[in-house]
Amino acid sequence: MNISENIKNFQDELPDDVTLVAISKTKPVDDLLEAYEAGQRHFGENKIQEMTEKWEKLPKDIKWHMVGHVQRNKVKYMAPYVSLIHAVDSLKLLKEINKEADKNDRDIDCLLQIKIAEEDSKFGISTEKAKEILDSEEFKKLDHVKVKGLMGMATFTDDETQVKKEFEHLKSVFKDFSEQYVDMKVLSMGMSGDYKIAVDSGSNMVRIGSDIFGAR
Ligand SMILES: *Cc1c(COP(=O)(O)O)cnc(C)c1O
């Protein structure tokens, strides 16, 4: 794997308004540094402890994305530095993030993860649940957590029609949300196997792991 070449190819290939998040979970710090030196600044991890260890060692202008499922008792470890939390799925978690953001005297940006895949195994909430959260008085009181958009993962399948349908669905939900709620700007969808379809469907943030760093 030539990491810097992969980064450059993605920089050339992706439209300017699409943010590339390099998903570096399980990869050593040297691999991240190689991507950094090729100009990559957004990195994503799925475990808070691993992300924090890497944050301590790497340049401080890196933007750290938490893309995994978040346990409330671990929010405090990333609250001082995390840039965007992608997979928020409850008001309880938003409250915890708000509390820890406040303690650190900052605001933390989040995305709500919407369940779009047909498989049962994927995390995420329904569109209705997401609206219920955003419309609740309790949410409106949270001053230090900002919901900046939506995240989704398509079914893991070779059936491109299926994947396209799921991404198009999320795009229409996102359009609806951005008309109703302020701050809705980010649509995080697309991974190594399906980012082309995601970008065609309107994604403006892709999360690429193996196509940059090799298989895990
Ligand atoms: C691991 C992971 C990715 C990247 O997956 P690849 O197939 O390696 O590109 C993207 N999003 C999430 C939520 C992940 O956990």
Q: What is the pLDDT of residue 118?
A: 83
Over 90: is that where the pLDDT of 11 sits? yes
Q: What is the pTM of this model?
A: 0.97
Instruction: State the chain's mean pLDDT as an integer.
Output: 97
> Is 25 touching ligand 1 by the criterion CB < 6 Å?
yes
Which atom of ligand 1 is found nearest the CA of 21? 10
Pocket test for ligand 1, best of 3, 50, 67 (most atoms within 8 A of CB): 67
Buried b (16+ CB within 10 A) or exposed e, 130-162: bbebbeeeebeebebbbbbbbbbbbbeeeeeee
CATH number at residue 101: 3.20.20.10
Over 90: is that where the pLDDT of 138 sits? yes
Q: What is the pLDDT of residue 122?
A: 63
Measured in Å, residue 105 CA sits from the centre of ligand 1 at 30
Please tell me the residue having the least CA distance from ligand 1 atom 5: 209
- The parent domain of residue 203 ranges over 3-213
Do residues 147 and 111 touch, judged by C-beta distance below 8 A? Answer: yes
Query: 155 or 122, which is more confident?
Result: 155
Q: How far apart are CA 82 and CA 48, in angstroms?
A: 10
Q: What is the pLDDT of residues 81-127, one digit of tens each?
A: 999 999 999 999 999 999 999 999 999 999 999 999 987 766 899 99
Which atom of ligand 1 is found nearest the CA of 151? 13
Q: What is the pLDDT of residue 95?
A: 98
Q: What is the pLDDT of residues 33-81, one digit of tens each?
A: 999 999 999 999 999 999 999 999 999 999 999 999 999 999 999 999 9
Pocket test for ligand 1, best of 19, 20, 23, 122 (most atoms within 8 A of CB): 23
Structural domain tally of the chain?
A: 1
Measured in Å, residue 157 CA sits from the centre of ligand 1 at 14
Single-letter amino acid code for the residue at 154: A
Measured in Å, residue 85 CA sits from the centre of ligand 1 at 14
Measured in Å, residue 46 CA sits from the centre of ligand 1 at 9
Measured in Å, residue 140 CA sits from the centre of ligand 1 at 31
Q: What is the pLDDT of residue 71?
A: 96
% of the chain with per-residue pLDDT over 70:
99
Sign of CA dihedral 128, 176, 158, 84: negative
